[in-house]
């Protein structure tokens, strides 16, 4: 074609004009471009429509878009998993059976800020069989905790009926503490090879004994591990924040004696949470005070520590050293003497330390006053309580016999 054009151009007269016309494009390219444009328009429209529907349900009912939970892990708990639609108690039970889950005994209490005479909050444990265990009641472990708000408050002592309607506030997957952290309580530490990193099962939810400083919402998750002839109780201390609709596990606990309890230790208006980790004849209490949230933070439990005095003082450091060494009665006498001599420098933090020391001293005094058949136990309790003269007299009497 190019040779023909050049030949024609050579034959043309000098003043003539020649036009070069390209051949038309193949017809199949036209419909291919049209198809591609149509697909792009339809795809864009579908994406816009889906995004609009997703945004609508995220505002109206976040539980409808739980398929997005993998992209936003934090929202997975707060928004996507939560379905705000109230359900009847029978419906919740049916759904659990369909999911091969078992509902434990619910803890009914008054939600914070609500009337103490009515039940408005339900803390519901959800249990599932442990791995490599037969599907029996003994194999069930607590895997999830849910908080429900009652649509209509119940009278105190009234139980849930099949028609009672509940609205889900929050749900939280839970597991027990690692085994090595639990058995470390025995003999004051974990020997090499004792305990493992596996998490021990939780079995139930319970209220905390005593009068809580904040109405409702407090609970214990608990389990039990046996080592020889000793039973070690363990679990978590938790609180349901009704304002933010969040279940919070504040503190793990382990005890050979008894479960944590509310007790007035410092004499403040709000009682403290006491964790008894006594081993043998030596008392060991950890006393926690509730600290309110600061600037949008979280409510927390803070222990009354005996590591350092609240203000510089060598006398207080010596007294706290005696306390950490287990000489509680001597430490209390030292602290009380300092308080008497220095009333102007004494403050609330120092008084809290004195109250904790006095609590231990009262326990050692009760141990020493108890009649015991074993001379070695009587000698040990008198030494622990700082009764040196009585301990020496008992030792001399025993040696003479």
Q: Per residue, what are the HEC states of the chain? A: CHHHHHHHHHHCCCCCCCCCCCCCCCHHHHHHHHHHHHHHHHHHHHHHHHHHHHHHHHHHCHHHHHHHCCCCHHHHHHHHCCCCCCEEHHHHHHHHHHCCCEECCCEEECCCCCCCCEEEEEEEEEEEECCCCCCCHHHEEEEEEEEEEEEEEEECCCCCCCCCEEEEEEEEECCCCEHHHHHCCHHHCCCCCCCCCCECCCCEEECCECCCCCCCCEEEEEEEEEECCEEEEEEEEEEEECCCCEEEEEEEEEECCCCCEEECCCCCCCCEEEEECCECCECCEEEEEEECCCCCCCCEEEECCCCCCCCCCHHHHHHHHHHHCCCHHHHHHHHHHHHHHCCCCCCHHHHHHHHHHHHHHHHHHHHHHCCCCCHHHHHHHHHHCCCHHHHHHHHHHHHHC
Would residue 377 count as lying in a domain? yes
Q: What's the confidence (pLDDT) of residue 190? A: 43
Q: What's the confidence (pLDDT) of residue 200? A: 87
Contact status, residue 68 vs residue 54, Cβ threshold 8 Å: yes
Would residue 178 count as lying in a domain? yes
For the chain, 401 residues long, give each residue's pLDDT as a single digit of tens: 544 444 554 555 555 556 566 666 555 556 677 777 788 888 888 888 887 777 766 665 565 555 555 555 555 554 444 566 888 999 999 999 999 899 999 998 877 666 566 788 889 999 988 777 765 666 889 999 999 998 888 887 788 888 999 999 999 999 988 887 787 766 554 444 466 778 888 999 999 998 887 766 899 999 988 877 778 899 999 999 888 888 999 999 998 878 999 999 987 778 899 999 888 778 889 999 988 877 666 788 999 999 999 999 999 999 999 999 888 989 999 999 999 999 999 999 999 999 999 999 998 888 776 666 566 666 566 666 666 666 666 666 666 66
Would residue 143 count as lying in a domain? yes
Q: What's the confidence (pLDDT) of residue 167? A: 92
Q: What's the confidence (pLDDT) of residue 50? A: 80
The total number of structural domains in the chain stands at 3
Shared domain for 393 and 351, answered yes or no, is: yes
| Rounded-to-integer distance, Cα 22 and Cα 299, Å | 80
Would residue 394 count as lying in a domain? yes
Shared domain for 223 and 114, answered yes or no, is: yes
**pTM of structure:** 0.74
Domain-terminating residue out of 36, 61, 85:
85
Would residue 112 count as lying in a domain? yes
Domain-terminating residue out of 262, 277, 312:
262
Would residue 5 count as lying in a domain? no
Domain-terminating residue out of 36, 59, 85:
85
Shared domain for 375 and 250, answered yes or no, is: no
Shared domain for 382 and 251, answered yes or no, is: no
Shared domain for 157 and 81, answered yes or no, is: no
Shared domain for 376 and 234, answered yes or no, is: no
Would residue 362 count as lying in a domain? yes
Shared domain for 116 and 199, answered yes or no, is: yes
Question: Left if phi > 0, otherwise alpha if psi is -120 to 50, otherwise beta: which for 350?
Answer: alpha
Q: What's the confidence (pLDDT) of residue 55? A: 74
Enclosing domain of residue 389: 304-401
Q: What's the confidence (pLDDT) of residue 133? A: 73
Shared domain for 125 and 184, answered yes or no, is: yes
Shared domain for 160 and 55, answered yes or no, is: no
Q: How far is CA 65 from CA 72, 75, 76, 79, 227, in A?
A: 12, 11, 10, 9, 47
Would residue 106 count as lying in a domain? yes
């Amino acid at each position: 074609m190019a040779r023909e054009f050049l030949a024609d151009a050579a034959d043309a007269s000098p003043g003539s004009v020649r036009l070069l016309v390209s051949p038309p494009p193949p017809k199949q390219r036209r419909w291919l471009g049209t198809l591609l444009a149509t697909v792009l328009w339809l795809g864009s429209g579908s994406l816009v429509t889906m995004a609009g529907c997703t945004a609508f349900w995220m505002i109206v009912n976040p539980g409808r878009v739980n398929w997005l939970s993998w992209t936003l892990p934090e929202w997975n708990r707060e928004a996507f998993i939560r379905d705000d639609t109230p359900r009847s108690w029978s419906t919740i039970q049916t759904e659990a059976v369909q999911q091969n889950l078992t509902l434990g005994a619910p803890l009914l209490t008054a939600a914070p800020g609500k009337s103490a005479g009515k039940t408005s909050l339900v803390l519901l444990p959800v249990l599932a069989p442990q791995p490599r265990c037969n599907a029996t009641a003994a194999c069930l472990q607590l895997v999830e905790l849910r908080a429900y708000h009652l649509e209509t408050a119940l009278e105190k002592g009234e139980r849930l009926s099949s028609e009672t309607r509940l609205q889900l506030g929050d749900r939280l997957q839970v597991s027990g503490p690692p085994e090595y952290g639990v058995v470390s309580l025995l003999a004051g530490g974990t020997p090499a090879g004792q305990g493992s990193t596996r998490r021990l099962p939780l079995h139930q939810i319970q209220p905390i004994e005593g009068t809580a400083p904040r109405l409702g919402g407090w609970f214990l998750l608990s389990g039990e591990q046996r080592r020889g002839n000793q039973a070690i109780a363990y679990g978590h201390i938790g609180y349901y924040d009704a304002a933010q609709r969040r279940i919070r596990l504040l503190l793990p606990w382990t005890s050979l004696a008894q479960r944590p309890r509310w007790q007035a230790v410092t004499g403040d208006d709000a009682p403290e949470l006491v964790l008894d980790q006594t081993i043998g004849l030596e008392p060991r209490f950890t006393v926690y005070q509730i600290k309110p949230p600061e600037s949008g933070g979280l409510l927390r439990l803070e222990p009354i520590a005996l590591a350092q005095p609240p203000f510089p003082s060598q006398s207080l450091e010596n007294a706290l050293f005696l306390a950490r060494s287990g000489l509680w009665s001597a430490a209390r006498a030292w602290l009380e003497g300092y308080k008497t001599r220095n009333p102007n420098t004494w403050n609330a933090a120092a008084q809290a330390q004195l109250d904790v020391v006095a609590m231990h001293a009262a326990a050692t005094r009760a141990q020493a006053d108890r009649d015991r058949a074993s001379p070695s136990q009587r000698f040990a309790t008198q030494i622990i309580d700082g009764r040196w003269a009585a301990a020496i007299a008992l030792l001399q009497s025993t040696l003479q016999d």
